[in-house]
Structure 1
Amino acid sequence: MSNSTRLGKERLVQSIALICLLAMGVTAIAGPSGLIAWGENQRMLDHRQASLHNLQAQRERLRNRVNQLDPRHVDPDLAGELIRKELNFAHPDEMVMLLH
């Protein structure tokens, strides 16, 4: 093999290696799990954690309301509120004020 052929193959191998390194570098920066995506993923995580916190608080409020409506020990105030709200029931001596 001549010197120029060997030099040509060596340059080809180096070029391919450089292209591979550049592709890996671009992927590390701009790929789906690269540095640019890292910030977006962090923002999404923060948003989802806030949503999870809100949903857990809502679930806790609903759990409390279900416990108050347990047939074995119903909260009388809540039962009265629901009867008035859902069945449009009121005592004759009560005054109803609608708030809009």
Structure 2
Amino acid sequence: MKRVGKISRYLGQAWLAGVWLFLFGYFAFHAFQGDNSIAALKRLEAQELELVVQAQRVASVRHALETRTQKLAGKTIDPDMLEEQVRLRLGFTHPDEVVVFIPAD
């Protein structure tokens, strides 16, 4: 009877060790695979860097547009900007001049 008791105790301990090994394996596997893994984190960090660069480009374009808009708004209108817009939108030119518009990139 002592042997049966020892065997059942060892089986109970082995079962518990098996559960712990399974849990460790499960979490270790999912740490390297899946949507919330370390590899996915690296991809998200790379995507974040790309989006930061894109946001900086958009911010610089916005700043340029705001600067141009401020020159035409308010009480003080920049005469050169006004002339440029009139020529561009209405096509006004003097008879003796040729105007070439170069699109901004």
> TM-score, normalising length from structure 1?
0.83
Partner residue of 2:70 out of 29, 45, 67: 67
1:35 CA drift (Å): 2.1
Change in CA separation of 1:51 and 1:97 when aligned onto 2, cut-off 3 Å: closer
Which stretches in structure 1 are left out of the alignment for 5+ residues? none
Q: How does 1:3-42 map to 2 (within 5 A)?
A: 3-42=6-45
1:12-44 Cα offsets, whole Å, 9 max, x none, are 111111010111112222343432123212211
The letter for the 1-side match of 2:13 is E
Root mean square deviation, CA, Å: 2.2
Q: How many residues align?
A: 100
- Structure 1 distance, partners of 2:101, 2:37, is 56
Q: Which runs of 5+ in 2 are unaligned?
A: none
Does the alignment pair 1:91 with 2:81?
A: no
User: Which sits farther off after the overlay, 32-41 or 57-66?
Assistant: 32-41
Structure 1 stretches of 4+ moved >6 Å: none
Deviation of 1:58 after TM superposition, in Å, equals 0.9
- The share of aligned pairs that are identical, in percent, is 21
